[in-house]
Structure 1
Amino acid sequence: MKNLRNLSLVLGLVLTLGACTNSQKSANKEVNILYPNWAEGIAFTHLAQAALESNGYETELTNLEPGLIYGELSKENSKGDVFLDAWLPNTHQAYWEDYGDKLEKLGESFSDGTTGLVVPSYVTINSIEELNAHKAQFDGEIIGIGSGAGIHANTLKAIEEYGLDFEQITSSGPAMVASLEKAISDNKWIVVTGWKPHFKWSGNDLKYLADPKGVYPKDVCAIISRRGFAEDMPEVAHFFKNFNLNEEQLYTLMAAIRSDGEEAGAKKWYESNKELVDGWFK
């Protein structure tokens, strides 16, 4: 009787450990990607989703403002794993100063990020210093995006540094693009906060205004993760360390997403570039 009882306890322990192991394996197969409502961030994220799911992983995508993304990933028990659109070392400098010691850099999704004030090429000025002289033609407005974006803070700095008699209009990435394209269709002057990479450059004839005071820096779109992610999921971390697109590749990916939707467009682009993307796992 005693032996049977001991056997029962051993079997119960084995089953419990087996269940825990299976649960851990299941958990370690799910990747939670946090992303902002920015065109390139949406593209990076959905491409990663398509590749990971094709290679046997489950994914969960969570759309948040950038400050919340950094804050969540810095938590000891973060619900997120990775963020593919961290503009470092400059545009998101303040976020990195607050949270960077609790995060890890894995790689670069895009290595030549630029930001600044953007106008249609038919606008006859070429520098931020010329804006005040043409305030009426721009209605005294700079069309911006969300207040949590680093470019929003840099534009407030530009207004101060250049003494601009302009107001930055806080909106969103899609709203900024809609305003830009409507102005172009009406052949009107407009100035927006812009960055590369972004699909608006492939669909419109645009230019940056020169920034002689250097308010708008160059960055990379870095891939960052919660601490311990690389140890928990080394194969996926290796994938993200190799994940990198050039401008032409990214714009064709963005075009597919605009044409077919976020998930379907990214999956279609992945299938057409499977050798490239799956090579990042190796």
Structure 2
Amino acid sequence: MKALWKALCAAAMVGMSMLPAHAEDKSITVGTMSWEDLTPITGITKKVLEDAGYTVKVVPFSEWGIAYAALSKGDIQILASQTDYVAQDYWDKNKKRLEKISPVSHGLFQGVAVPKYVPIDSMDQLNANADKFGGKIVGIEPGSGLMRDTANAVKGYDLKLQLVEGSTAAMTAALKSAVDRKEWIAVTIWEPSWMMQKYDVKFLKDPKGIFPPPQSYYWIGKKGFSADYPHAREVIASVYVPLADITAINSAVNDGKTMDEAVKAWTDSHADLLKRWENIKTQ
């Protein structure tokens, strides 16, 4: 009887081993913020996943809170985000339901910048030249992390300059006008941005360390993504887009291309690299 029982158990184990493994779903819904740094990252990764055999749907969001809620609920499977600072509060609030997949770029930096022809290099030199800057720092949309940091810098350096709220478009127009006339101007700005390339500006040094250090971009997923999509996870983890390439893509958009055209031009010119990424084998 004992021998028969062993034989039956062995047969059952063999039968189980012959059952097909759970097939990986080939459809992935990707979230993205409609921003100039995250859109190229999303577009390039989408192309790599599609070439690797996946059907990819992209859902754009306008606010981190909505994007993270959608990811936590499973309405989207993955999202590119800066978890170290820009979206740290949202990451900390939701991270028990999420997982980091891999870094996809590095170097996001925000601060106050001036044109390179302006002969100052540090935040603590602003007060001595306040009149030349018209007594103001030209800002962007109120409520952004960059404006919050700059407001803290105004207090931290006891600046005599007023931080003026506005919009990215208005700041860009003011910067262009000042550069065309070789006038002094201080603006809130970030890298990667086509503006850094086009207008030849420099970040002011921040000896008090009020602005955060350069940050990384990560692909993050709903908890369990790596287990459910092992091959997609390996493909995603192979993708890395240098910050300079993100800036170049956005410069092409500023020069008249659509984002889809600019991303396609990049992927076409990096075809060999994309082949290596999409052909990655799951260990």
Matched letter for residue 57 of structure 2: T
Runs ≥4 residues deviating over 6 A: none
Aligned to 2:62: 64
Aligned to 2:241: 245
Distance 1:217 1:62, change over 3 A: same
Root-mean-square deviation over aligned CA pairs: 2.7
How much has 1:261 moved relative to structure 2? 0.8
User: Which SS does the other structure have where 1:260 is aligned?
Assistant: coil
Cα deviation digits, residues 37-71 of structure 1 (max 9, x gap)? 2x211221222233333444232231322333233
How much has 1:268 moved relative to structure 2? 2.0
Matched, 1:265 2:262: yes
Distance 1:89 1:30, change over 3 A: closer
Matched, 1:145 2:140: yes
Aligned to 1:233: 229
Aligned to 2:31: 33
User: Which SS does the other structure have where 2:234 is aligned?
Assistant: helix
Output aligned runs, 1:67-216, within 5 Å: 67-73=65-71, 75=72, 77-84=73-80, 86-216=81-211
TM-score for both structures, normalised by structure 1: 0.78
Matched letter for residue 230 of structure 2: P
Aligned to 2:3: none
Q: Which moved more, 1:106-115 or 1:246-255?
A: 246-255
Aligned to 1:6: none
How much has 1:171 moved relative to structure 2? 4.1
Partners of 2:239 and 2:169 in 1: how far apart? Answer: 25
Answer whether contact 1:257 1:263 (CA < 8 A) is retained.
Answer: no
TM-score for both structures, normalised by structure 2: 0.78
Matched letter for residue 267 of structure 1: K
How much has 1:189 moved relative to structure 2? 2.0
Answer whether contact 1:36 1:66 (CA < 8 A) is retained.
Answer: no
User: Could you tell me the percent identity over the aligned residues?
Assistant: 26
Aligned to 1:224: 220
Distance 1:186 1:79, change over 3 A: farther
Q: Which moved more, 1:143-152 or 1:106-115?
A: 143-152
Return the index of the structure with the highest Cα Rg: 2
Partners of 2:198 and 2:273 in 1: how far apart? Answer: 25
Cα deviation digits, residues 56-94 of structure 1 (max 9, x gap)? 423223132233323332x3x23223222x334234333
Partners of 2:260 and 2:225 in 1: how far apart? Answer: 24
